[in-house]
A and B are shown apart, each in its own frame.
Chain A
Amino acid sequence: MTDSPEKPEKPQNPEKDGKDGQTGQPGQPEPDVIRAIPVRHYGRWVAAAVVIALLGLLVNAFASANVHYGAIPDYLFDSSVVSGLGKTVLISLLAMLLGLVLGIVLAVMRLSKNPVTSSVSWLYIWFFRGTPVYVQLLLWFNLALIFPEINLGPIYRDYMSSFMTPFMAALLGLGLNEAAYMSEIVRAGIQSVDEGQTEAAHALGMSQGRTLRRIVLPQAMRVIVPPTGNEFINMLKTSSLAASAAQYLELLRSTSDIGQTTGATVEMLFLAATWYLILTSVFSVGQFYLERYYARGSLRSLPLTPWQKIRTNLAGLGNRTKGGVSA
């Protein structure tokens, strides 16, 4: 029934095709292009309507809720919020760096033929992966209770309470925990590289270390980067635990402090969520380019960057309207 209005259009189509065919490929016999009536997916329309209705209810609920949305932009660039934001980014980057470096060391230890290094690595992963990161943060922060002094002989000596600042506790707690996860990711990456690669490198006279650095790790990166990006995005969010566990004044702490003094508790939580979303979005873009870099050689053509996509889409826009592929 609903199809009937379309039927008068159909005779027009062959004419249009004829024109296109003449301008496009002269001399070539035009194939009889199929112009079938597509299957109607009524279920999709119903599902879309239901979902949109539910979304509308949700938006309505939040719009009429007792939230003073105006407070969010007011505090978006508040100096203490910006400082907390900076600390969140700083601690996440440093803890991730620590986790990555230590993770590579642990992965190499785990894969080594030396039973001692390999079991120590196993033990490390077992402990740091097997206990909550919150507990680990608390332990580092309270380390002064069991070791009042830190004494590394002639190198370093201080009271633990002045060494284990909130920053150090957060860095060690988050970084050492991350190392356990990173080492498993790195190990999986190294093991994903074909054995023939190592053999070929060895046959050329390359040493173990050089083979790892020049041949195996660059290829392992393709497997390592995506889960590492995941880990980093996790780290941005997990760093919020350092606020209550180690008194580290990062984003969540700075926003909730404002919330307590101004009474805009939920508004400030929304504000924090907004900033976390911005951070994770920005770093996701970085991850895309990193993955693209390490995909070189393994794909025949690299995936388009967003800019390239936009450009090709714009260039293709003219052709597409002419092509006239009606839905």
Chain B
Amino acid sequence: MSAMVKAEGVHKSYGATQVLKGIDLEVAPREVFCLIGPSGSGKSTFLRCINHLEKINAGRLYVDGELVGYRQKGDRLYELKDSEVAQNRRDIGMVFQRFNLFPHMTALANVMEAPVQVKGETKAVARERALKLLDRVGLADKAGNYPSQLSGGQQQRVAIARALAMEPKLMLFDEPTSALDPELVGDVLDVMRGLAEDGMTMIVVTHEMGFAREVGDSVVFMDDGVVVESGAPRDVLTNPQHERTKSFLSKVL
């Protein structure tokens, strides 16, 4: 079985600041892959490289066997056109820490937007699936509400429905519960748990160690732009080998 995501020596720097210093990892299809680590360790940046919101400076990144952002001919790399990058992003859903719902559209219109505008679906078809997705995330009754009329947890669930509307083969979650009130976190995690059970490939940057332990198939601990430790959740989270992992977990658990 080929990997859904494969990273080989991925480097990323902003000017002189090195954020990623050589990341190697593989995410299998249907796997729930949790990235943990302190702020500034590069885990969000790595996630954003996967759908080419950030360009990597060195290394190779593959999604479903295809190089991200480039085309290789012989030993030369050609940058993909904006339209080709956009085409590849259709299959990768992304959920942001700050939701980033479109505030001028209702929840329903948010979910319908990409299928209609990008895939060219008819409004009727998109609407039907959007309503199903909103129902799935428990917000069927909020279809007509604008984001500003929803709580943070509801907004994030709409954002998940919006990403799912494109029927992606991979979902990226960038700290999806970090901006939420503690009592709203559970609803969002429930939706994500449901997705995992349905076999969605998910890469989740998170501080929710409970979620990583229960739902995650593998956990990677990143610090200072490198992978420090990786493995099954029970190994990494309950029996960490590295000093840095231990000190991080002692602070968050």
Q: Is the CB of A202 within 8 A of B100?
A: no
Cβ contact of B82, chosen from A204, A208, A300, cutoff 8 A: A208
Q: Is the CB of A204 within 8 A of B89?
A: yes
Q: Is the CB of A202 within 8 A of B104?
A: no
The CA-CA distance from A118 to B17 in the complex, in Å, is 29
Give the number of chain B interface residues (Cβ < 8 Å): 33
Specify which chain A residues have a CB less than 8 angstroms from the CB of B104 in the assembled complex. 218-219, 294, 296-298
Also in contact, A202 and B149, with CB within 8 A (given A196-B96, A207-B83, A208-B82): no
Q: Is the CB of B53 within 8 A of A204?
A: no
Whether a CB of chain B sits under 8 angstroms from the CB of A200 is yes
**Taking each of B87, B92, B100, B162, which has the highest tally of chain A beta carbons within 10 Å of its own beta carbon?**
B100
Shortest distance from the beta carbon of A94 to any chain B beta carbon, whole Å: 29
Whether a CB of chain A sits under 8 angstroms from the CB of B146 is yes
Residue in A closest to B97 when the chains form the complex, CB atoms:
A196
Q: Is the CB of A207 within 8 A of B51?
A: no
Q: Is the CB of A206 within 8 A of B117?
A: yes
The CA-CA distance from A44 to B245 in the complex, in Å, is 69
Q: Is the CB of A205 within 8 A of B100?
A: no
Specify which chain B residues have a CB less than 8 angstroms from the CB of A204 in the assembled complex. 89-90, 113-114, 118, 162-163, 166
Cβ contact of A199, chosen from B83, B100, B106, cutoff 8 A: B100
Q: Is the CB of B114 within 8 A of A206?
A: yes
Specify which chain B residues have a CB less than 8 angstroms from the CB of A207 in the assembled complex. 82-83, 86
Whether a CB of chain B sits under 8 angstroms from the CB of A214 is yes
Give the number of chain A interface residues (Cβ < 8 Å): 24
Specify which chain B residues have a CB less than 8 angstroms from the CB of A298 in the assembled complex. 103-104, 148
Specify which chain B residues have a CB less than 8 angstroms from the CB of A214 in the assembled complex. 113, 117
**Taking each of B89, B90, B104, B106, which has the highest tally of chain A beta carbons within 10 Å of its own beta carbon?**
B104
Q: Interface digits, A288-327 against B, CB 8 Å rule (1 contact, 0 not)?
A: 0000001011111000000000000000000000000000
Q: Interface digits, B85-114 against A, CB 8 Å rule (1 contact, 0 not)?
A: 011111011101010111111100000011
The CA-CA distance from A296 to B145 in the complex, in Å, is 11
Specify which chain B residues have a CB less than 8 angstroms from the CB of A264 in the assembled complex. none
User: Could you tell me which residues of chain A, from 195 to 213, have a CB within 8 Å of some CB in chain B?
Assistant: 196-197, 199-208, 210
Specify which chain A residues have a CB less than 8 angstroms from the CB of B153 in the assembled complex. none
The CA-CA distance from A299 to B148 in the complex, in Å, is 7
Q: Determine the main DSSP class of B at the interface with A.
A: mixed
Q: Determine the main DSSP class of A at the interface with B.
A: helix
Residue in A closest to B87 when the chains form the complex, CB atoms:
A205
Residue in A closest to B94 when the chains form the complex, CB atoms:
A203
Cβ contact of B148, chosen from A194, A203, A210, A300, cutoff 8 A: A300
User: Could you tell me which residues of chain A, from 108 to 136, have a CB within 8 Å of some CB in chain B?
Assistant: none
Whether a CB of chain A sits under 8 angstroms from the CB of B69 is no
Q: Is the CB of B89 within 8 A of A297?
A: no
Whether a CB of chain B sits under 8 angstroms from the CB of A215 is yes
Q: Is the CB of B92 within 8 A of A215?
A: no
Whether a CB of chain A sits under 8 angstroms from the CB of B176 is no
The CA-CA distance from A204 to B102 in the complex, in Å, is 12
Whether a CB of chain A sits under 8 angstroms from the CB of B233 is no
Q: Is the CB of A202 within 8 A of B148?
A: no
Specify which chain B residues have a CB less than 8 angstroms from the CB of A297 in the assembled complex. 103-106, 146-148
Cβ contact of B102, chosen from A203, A210, A215, A294, cutoff 8 A: A215
Q: Is the CB of B118 within 8 A of A203?
A: no
The CA-CA distance from A97 to B149 in the complex, in Å, is 35
Shortest distance from the beta carbon of A302 to any chain B beta carbon, whole Å: 11
Residue in A closest to B110 when the chains form the complex, CB atoms:
A200
Specify which chain B residues have a CB less than 8 angstroms from the CB of A194 in the assembled complex. 100
Shortest distance from the beta carbon of B176 to any chain A beta carbon, whole Å: 13
Specify which chain A residues have a CB less than 8 angstroms from the CB of B117 in the assembled complex. 206, 210, 214
Q: Is the CB of A205 within 8 A of B146?
A: no
Shortest distance from the beta carbon of A9 to any chain B beta carbon, whole Å: 46
Shortest distance from the beta carbon of A112 to any chain B beta carbon, whole Å: 13
The CA-CA distance from A194 to B101 in the complex, in Å, is 11
User: Could you tell me which residues of chain A, from 211 to 238, have a CB within 8 Å of some CB in chain B?
Assistant: 214-215, 218-219
Residue in A closest to B53 when the chains form the complex, CB atoms:
A199
Residue in A closest to B116 when the chains form the complex, CB atoms:
A214
User: Could you tell me which residues of chain A, from 180 to 203, have a CB within 8 Å of some CB in chain B?
Assistant: 194, 196-197, 199-203
The CA-CA distance from A192 to B53 in the complex, in Å, is 20
Specify which chain B residues have a CB less than 8 angstroms from the CB of A205 in the assembled complex. 86-90, 114, 118, 166
Specify which chain A residues have a CB less than 8 angstroms from the CB of B149 in the assembled complex. 300
Identify 19 new A-B residue pairs, CB closer than 8 A, beyond the known A203-B93, A205-B88: A196-B96, A196-B98, A196-B100, A197-B102, A199-B100, A203-B53, A204-B114, A205-B86, A205-B90, A205-B118, A206-B117, A206-B118, A207-B82, A207-B83, A297-B103, A297-B148, A298-B148, A300-B148, A300-B149
Q: Which 5 A-B pairs have the closest CB atoms?
A: A205-B90, A200-B100, A204-B114, A203-B94, A196-B100
| Contact sample, A vs B, 29 pairs, CB 8 Å cutoff | A196-B96, A197-B100, A199-B53, A199-B100, A200-B101, A201-B102, A202-B86, A203-B53, A203-B89, A203-B92, A204-B114, A204-B118, A204-B166, A205-B89, A205-B90, A206-B118, A207-B82, A207-B83, A208-B82, A210-B117, A214-B117, A218-B104, A296-B146, A297-B103, A297-B106, A297-B147, A298-B103, A298-B104, A300-B149
